Amino acid sequence: MTVVPVATGILEDENGRLLISLRPEGKPWPGFWEFPGGKVDPGETPEEALHRELWEEIGIRVQDAEPFRTLDYTYPERTVRLHFYRVRRWDGAAHGKEGQQIRWLYPWEIPALECLPANLRMTAAVLEESLPHPPLCLIVDPARVEPQAFAHAWREALRAGLQWVILRCKSAVDEESAKLLKSLCAESLAAGAQVWLNHAEPLPDWPHSGRHLTQSQLEAGLRPSEPFGASCHNAGEIHQAAQAGARYALLSPLFSTRSHPDTLPLGEKAFAELVETSAIPLIALGGLSVERVPAAMATGASGVAILSGILDAPDPFVTTSDFLRYWRP
C-alpha cells in the first residue's frame, strides 16, 4: 500500500490552547475534527507543505515550526505518514478559509470531540509534556504503612528528586495524621513536586496540584474544576477518562502484583496496544521494580507509578534514586 505523506500543524496560542478544524463534507472522514494540514506535494518537504497548507486552510503565515512527531496511520483506504509540527509563532488571524469550523481548545478538552484517531495520539503527546519530569509517581497510602514510616519514605523520596506524589486516602484519617499529611503536601509543593489527591468527598484543605479519581468517582459523574487524572484498567475506562477531561490515566496492572495475585495482568503487548489508541498519557502501575522500568517504558507508557516498591523499601532514598536512574543515567 502506498504511504501518503501529510504535514500537520499543532498550533498553540499564548494560553496553551490548540487549534482544531472540522473536516467538511466532500472530504474523507467528514464531520471529524483534526489538526490542520494536508498532503505533501511532489518536490515539497513536509515543512514546506505545512507552510502552504496552513496558509490555504486557515490563512496564517507560519513563522516557526518545530518538528514534533512522525506517525504512520493506516485507514481503510490508505496509509498516511503524518509529520506533526508544533507551531507557536505565526502571522495573521486563523480562520476557516475553506468555510470549515475551527475551535481553540485546551488539550484535555479535545478528546470529548469526534476526532481523527491519529490526531488523538498527538493530544496524548502534548498532555505528556505537562506531566512531572521525571515521570515517576509515588502513590502514598497511609492505610498501608505506619504514619511515621510513610512520612520518612515520602521525605526521602523527595530528597532523591521525586517530582510526583498521588496521596491516596480511601477512608478518613485521624486528626494527627491529617495534620501530618497536610504538612507533607506543603513540603512537596515547596520542593517543586506535584501532589494529586485521591480522596473521597469532601476534599480536605491540603495543598495540592490536582485530583486523582477512582473509576467509581468517574462513573458517578464527578468532574473536578481543577486538573485531574484517573485510575483505569481497560480501553473503555481510558476512553471514559479521556472524554471527561483527565490529564492522564494510571493503567494497571501491567505486571502481576503481590497485593492482587488473582488479577490477570495486562502484560506488555496489551498495554502497548492501549497506548496506541489512547488520547491521554498512560502511566504504568502494578508489579513494577527498578529492573522492570525499561520494559514498562518500552510499551509507550508516559511514566511509571510505584507504591510498595518505595514505601516498603529499607532505604527509600536509594530505591527512589535507582528508579529515577532510568531518566537520569
**Is there a domain that residue 284 lies in?**
yes
Percent over 70 (pLDDT), the chain: 99
- What gap in Å lies between CA 136 and CA 243, rounded to an integer? 25
Same-domain check for residues 203 and 314:
yes
Mean pLDDT of all residues belonging to the chain = 95
Q: What is the domain-level CATH number for residue 178?
A: 3.20.20.70
Residue range of the domain that includes 244: 130-323
Same-domain check for residues 34 and 153:
no
Same-domain check for residues 163 and 301:
yes
- Whose cell is 509534556? That residue is 129
**Is there a domain that residue 276 lies in?**
yes
Same-domain check for residues 47 and 84:
yes
- Interval 69-103: pLDDT, tens: 999 999 888 899 999 999 999 999 999 998 999 99
Same-domain check for residues 34 and 140:
no
Residue 199 CB burial class (10 angstroms; 0-12, 13-18, ≥19)? buried
Binding residue ranges for 8-oxo-dGTP? 23, 34-37, 119
Same-domain check for residues 88 and 143:
no
For the beta sheet containing 37-39, the strands, ordered from the edge strand earlier in sequence to the opposite edge, are: 37-39, 3-11, 79-91, 61-74
Supply the pLDDT for residue 261: 75
Which cell numbers hold the place of 102? 475551527
Counting DSSP H helices and E strands in the chain, the numbers are: 10, 15
The single-letter DSSP state of residue 204 is P
**Is there a domain that residue 5 lies in?**
yes
Same-domain check for residues 204 and 294:
yes
- What gap in Å lies between CA 84 and CA 54, rounded to an integer? 13
**Is there a domain that residue 233 lies in?**
yes
**Is there a domain that residue 94 lies in?**
yes
Same-domain check for residues 107 and 135:
no
- What gap in Å lies between CA 323 and CA 329, rounded to an integer? 10
Overall number of domains in the chain: 2
Binding residue ranges? 23, 34-37, 57, 119
The runs of H, that is alpha helices, within the chain are: 46-58, 117-128, 147-160, 175-190, 215-219, 235-244, 267-277, 293-298, 308-311, 316-324
Same-domain check for residues 31 and 145:
no
| Residue 156 backbone dihedrals phi, psi, to 5 degrees | -65, -35
Same-domain check for residues 91 and 151:
no
Identify whether 107 is preceded by a cis peptide bond (ω within 30 of 0). no
Binding residue ranges for Mg(2+)? 37, 57
- Interval 205-233: pLDDT, tens: 999 999 999 999 999 998 999 999 999 99
Same-domain check for residues 224 and 80:
no
Domain boundary among 113, 142, 175: 113
Q: Give the closest residue to 83 by CA, choosing from 51, 124, 105.
A: 51
| Residue 17 backbone dihedrals phi, psi, to 5 degrees | -85, 150
Residue 90 CB burial class (10 angstroms; 0-12, 13-18, ≥19)? buried
Same-domain check for residues 1 and 69:
yes
- Interval 96-122: pLDDT, tens: 998 999 999 999 999 999 999 999 999
Supply the pLDDT for residue 57: 96
Domain boundary among 82, 113, 144: 113
Residue 154 vs residues 128, 215, 227: alpha-carbon distances, Å: 24, 25, 23
Supply the pLDDT for residue 1: 66
**Is there a domain that residue 122 lies in?**
no
Supply the pLDDT for residue 327: 96
**Is there a domain that residue 124 lies in?**
no
Which cell numbers hold the place of 311? 514505601
> For 161-184, what is the mean pLDDT?
93
Q: Give the closest residue to 84 by CA, choosing from 72, 98, 97, 101.
A: 72
- Interval 24-50: pLDDT, tens: 888 888 899 999 999 999 999 999 999
> For 119-134, what is the mean pLDDT?
97
- Which residue type, as a one-letter code, is found at position 277? T
156, β-bridge pairs: none
**Is there a domain that residue 261 lies in?**
yes
Residue 40: partners with Cβ closer than 8 Å, 6 or more residues away: 5, 6, 7, 46, 48, 49, 83
pTM: 0.94
The least confident of 198-207, 223-232, 259-268 is 259-268
Supply the pLDDT for residue 28: 80
Residue 141 CB burial class (10 angstroms; 0-12, 13-18, ≥19)? middle
Domain boundary among 113, 144, 170: 113
Q: Flag whether pLDDT at 325 surpasses 90.
A: yes
Q: What is the domain-level CATH number for residue 82?
A: 3.90.79.10
